[in-house]
Structure 1
Amino acid sequence: MPGLEGVALRQLYAVDAPQTAGDVHARAGTGSRNGVRYALDRLADQGIVTRTVAGNTAIYQVNREHLAYPALTAALATFNPYRDLRDRLRDLVRECPWDGPLFALAIYGSVARGEAGPDSDVDLLLVLPDGRDVDDPQVDDLSEALHVHVKRWTGNRAHLDVRTRRQVRTAAESGDPIFASWVRDADLVFGPDLITETKESVA
């Protein structure tokens, strides 16, 4: 279901409890509050959502008795954009030409923490093995592919942090806050877990 109706319905389904339009808007992180309310009202008019008015406040909840509920449940239960993003990134980098020891690719930041908003960048960390330089043509091609495809898949910009393994170790040894954020957030998508290896070797 496209548009704000789909966004609102996913939020109602995820919480599975009565919510106001303000509640749904706050969780959705997109659209205006009135836009979300109109979307919920349209869903209520279709019967997919129930609407109960208490005073001046409308309360919404997914209608479990609707004939479409089993199909909606099946669709919403399998909707996992973060998992799909990880899978697509892994498949993409596997197809990119690469010679020698493997690099590591991880998602970090708000996307990895599940806190991303509609305008959030997709933060990616690319760690190169020893002997590879950030100016290597294969690194350039890989970086370009990541930027293009992340934008195409999500509508959001990829923020790609390319580091050599030596630079990662330097960040760890100097207590650079960015290394702490990688340790806390980084979700390895492909390659060796160089962040954990570096943390353990420096400790």
Structure 2
Amino acid sequence: MQFPEPMSSVVPGLHGRVLGVLARTERPMTGRALAGLLRSHASPSGVQRVLDDLVSNGVVIAEPAGRARLYTLNRQHVAYPAIDQLARLRQLLLDRIKAEAKSWAVPAKAIWLFGSTARGQGGTDSDLDLLIVRPDDVDDSDPGWLEQVDTLSAHASLWSGNSCEVVEYSAQEVQDLINHGERLVTELRRDAVPIAGSTPRQILYRKAG
């Protein structure tokens, strides 16, 4: 999955990138303003050609504004539900992971997304990094625990197309990382996205008892 621009995972090229920007806002904008919101550079002329194509297909609405034209996504178009789904691929992936985690016979204390995918920077060759906090009363070799973690990792890879890498700590091990001022804790405090269980703030800012 292209995490910075999920739409591009299915609609490659500039069309997907432009649709991704339009799907994120209902505010009318000029083609030049839209080009400035793309995560990677595209020429205003290239963006304009895409907008003209989308307008001709009725997917985008163009309205005059003085000498300029303002563009919005046509949310009444029959294609809009599909566009909306594609624009939200990252959140849909996290929702699936959360739903599976909630079904675990041995619940995790927390599951977070971290690394480049959490920062919205990961591409197709990036790992999908999950940090799982295991309850202290569950052994790391518990068969039931291992099976559900392995299954989630395999499913997340299938759902995203990215290799899922799991980093696992017990709750006490996380506390030890905090007490020793490990760099990972700083990175998690800055970037981690909560998926299930306790949030990074609830765990990473807790004082040792």
TM-score, normalised with respect to structure 1: 0.69
| Aligned counterparts, 1:146-185, within 5 A | 146-185=152-191
List runs of 5+ in structure 2 lacking aligned partners. 1-6, 63-68
Give 1:73 deviation, angstroms.
Answer: 8.6
Distance 1:122 1:160 in 2: 8
What is the DSSP-based 3-state SS (H/G/I as helix, E as strand, rest coil) of the residue aligned with 1:188?
A: strand
Among candidates 124, 134, 137, match of residue 130 of structure 2: 124
**C-alpha root-mean-square deviation of aligned residues, in Å?**
3.8
| Aligned counterparts, 1:35-184, within 5 A | 43=54, 46=57, 48=59, 62=71, 69-71=75-77, 74-75=80-81, 76-77=83-84, 79-98=87-106, 102-184=108-190
Among candidates 2, 7, 11, match of residue 3 of structure 1: 11
Give 1:88 deviation, angstroms.
Answer: 0.9
Distance 2:70 2:126 in 1: 28
List runs of 5+ in structure 1 lacking aligned partners. 52-59
- What do the CA deviations read for 1:116-135 (whole angstroms, capped 9, x no partner)? 33433222110111132332
Looking at both structures, which has the greater relative contact order when contacts are Cα pairs under 8 Å and sequence separation is at least 6?
A: 2
Which residue is equivalent to 1:190?
196
Q: Say whether the 8 Å CA contact 2:109–2:133 is kept in structure 1.
A: yes
Q: Say whether the 8 Å CA contact 2:189–2:204 is kept in structure 1.
A: no
Q: How has the CA–CA distance of structure 1 residues 72 and 122 changed in structure 2, closer, same or farther, with 3 Å as cutoff?
A: farther
Q: Say whether the 8 Å CA contact 2:185–2:204 is kept in structure 1.
A: no
Give 1:143 deviation, angstroms.
Answer: 2.1
Normalized per residue, which structure has more helix?
1
Distance 1:17 1:40 in 2: 11
TM-score, normalised with respect to structure 2: 0.67
Q: Say whether the 8 Å CA contact 1:127–1:194 is kept in structure 2.
A: no
Distance 2:155 2:36 in 1: 30
Which residue is equivalent to 1:18?
30
Give 1:110 deviation, angstroms.
Answer: 2.8
Query: Aligned residues: percent identity?
Result: 24
What is the DSSP-based 3-state SS (H/G/I as helix, E as strand, rest coil) of the residue aligned with 1:153?
A: helix
What is the DSSP-based 3-state SS (H/G/I as helix, E as strand, rest coil) of the residue aligned with 1:146?
A: helix
Distance 1:169 1:25 in 2: 40
What is the DSSP-based 3-state SS (H/G/I as helix, E as strand, rest coil) of the residue aligned with 1:110?
A: coil
Give 1:49 deviation, angstroms.
Answer: 5.2
Q: How has the CA–CA distance of structure 1 residues 195 and 130 changed in structure 2, closer, same or farther, with 3 Å as cutoff?
A: farther
Q: How has the CA–CA distance of structure 1 residues 110 and 93 changed in structure 2, closer, same or farther, with 3 Å as cutoff?
A: same
What is the DSSP-based 3-state SS (H/G/I as helix, E as strand, rest coil) of the residue aligned with 2:136?
A: coil
Distance 2:125 2:183 in 1: 23
